[in-house]
Amino acid sequence: MATGTSQAPELAGSPLASRTRHQTALRLLPFLFVLYIVNYLDRTSVAYAAIGMSRDLGFSDRVFGLGVGVFFIGYLVLQIPGALLAERWSARRIISASMVAWGSLTALTALVHTPTQLYFARFLLGLAEASFFPGVIVLLSHWFIQKDRAKAVSNFMAAVPLSLVIGSPIAGWIIGHNWFTIHGWRWLFALEGLPAILLGVVAFFYLPDWPQDASWLSDEQRTGITKELAVEKSVHRRAVTVMETLRSGKILLLGAVAFLAYLPTYAAIYWLPTLLKRQTGLSDVRVGLYLAIPYGAALLAMLINGWHSDKYLERRWHTALPILLLAIGALGLLVMPQSLPTTLLCFSLMCMELAYLPVFWSIPSEILSEAAAATAIGVMSTIANIAGFLGPMLFGYLHTRTGSLVWGCVMLIASSTASGVLMLAIPGTRRPAVEEFTA
């Protein structure tokens, strides 16, 4: 064991290993980043389609909120089985199959006419997408050592606001036009499903499962990566069970922070197009164009916040403050005079909440050992994604029940405030990771 451990620095620090890592990153990460953008475009296309669906099909806010939320039931059902299948069978095949499946289901959502059909389509879409991100994580684990893998995964988070910046004007333009007597929102589903299908086919041939499958690396490079990963896996780490995770006060607190933050996050992402349309009366095209502004602010905030957090090695405030911005933005919607500039300002503050994501998800690996962090992240992610179901559904229910946006905004304010305050109760993360959970 000692021999294997001592080889790690030598392999990791050699010029060949550094060159191979750089070459591998350039080959894999930009392509995977594009796939993740397409993933979020398909997942959130319903936010813009809702404008047309409510107009043409008469769907209420309650119907739309439940239709959005049902996605996450399917998403949670297959996440763990998808990860296991990717590891035991083929991450490349899982990614490819998931993309072709969700692209096809997104396109078929264009055929929806009733609420039941919308619920069914969104549930199936959740099932189809569930294996994608775990498949990517498994694939990265076959190529990158832990320190490089964490950095690669954190960079994926920028795809969330970037996909919204790209998708917002495109979606607005598509739903604002009818072709061949077919409504624009139906074209939106059909057209946004196609890239996922095409890229899913490309991924099958482009992505290698293991270094030994990469024809673009030399034999020496393939051997080097394989040895590097084998050395890292040979170091003994005690397995950490889910029950141990659930007994950790620290992890439960982080899970609560994630749940309370995701609740308003998903509600905002899925409802902002409808809110902007109703408050301003803008055309569908202009709604898409103007919403690129708050999403662009979110992307800039995420990049700055992540850089500043790493520079000062501080996590709590860099997580809590962006989360609290959503509460300030939602409060502004209630108390500020309604106009396009003030609405966009409030929306920008709300979207800038996304800046907390890469900082927050770096915390488990810093305050826990690697083995404990992996289990903790899985548990926290499951807890957080339950909020993906509840957030949009509750917002739609409150608006339908009360006929006002006030109580929905109150929910956003209360949830994000509670999340930010709880985050400040998390101990500092300057110390090295520890092996065991601490309460």
Burial 62-84 (b: 16+ CB within 10 A, else e): bbbbbbbbbbbbbbbebbeebbe
Give the side-chain half-sphere CA count within 13 A for 81. 10
DSSP-derived 3-state class of residue 182: strand
φ, ψ dihedrals at 182, nearest 5°? -100, 130
- Number of CB atoms found within 10 A of residue 251's CB: 26
| pLDDT value, residue 195 | 94
Domains and CATH numbers, the chain: 1-236 (1.20.1250.20), 242-439 (1.20.1250.20)
| pLDDT value, residue 86 | 82
Question: Which one-letter amino acid corresponds to residue 403?
Answer: G
Hey, CA dihedral for 177, 180, 183, 189, is it positive or negative?
negative
- Say if CB 28 and CB 207 are below 8 A apart: yes
| pLDDT of the chain, 439 residues: tens digit per residue | 344 444 444 455 567 777 887 888 888 888 999 999 999 888 888 888 888 888 889 888 889 889 888 998 988 888 778 877 887 888 899 999 999 999 999 999 999 999 999 999 999 999 999 888 888 878 887 887 766 666 676 677 778 888 888 888 998 899 888 888 899 999 999 999 999 999 999 999 999 888 888 888 888 888 877 887 777 665 545 555 656 666 667 788 888 999 999 999 999 988 999 889 888 888 888 998 999 999 999 999 988 988 888 788 788 899 999 999 999 999 999 998 888 999 999 999 999 999 998 888 878 767 666 556 666 777 787 888 889 889 998 998 898 888 888 899 999 999 999 999 999 987 654 444 444 444 3
Q: Which two tokens stand for residue 361?
A: 């998800």
Question: Which one-letter amino acid corresponds to residue 283?
Answer: S
Q: Residue 414: which residues within 8 A CB-CB, separation 6 or more?
A: none
H/E stretch holding 417: helix 406-423
| pLDDT value, residue 2 | 40
- Number of CB atoms found within 10 A of residue 311's CB: 8
Tracing tokens 């107009």 back to the chain, one arrives at 55
Distance of CA 268 to the CA centre of its chain: 14
Locate all alpha helices (DSSP H) within 57-158, ordered by sequence: 61-88, 91-108, 115-129, 132-141, 146-156
For residue 375, CA distances in Å to 135, 242, 341, 397, 434 come to: 16, 7, 44, 34, 14
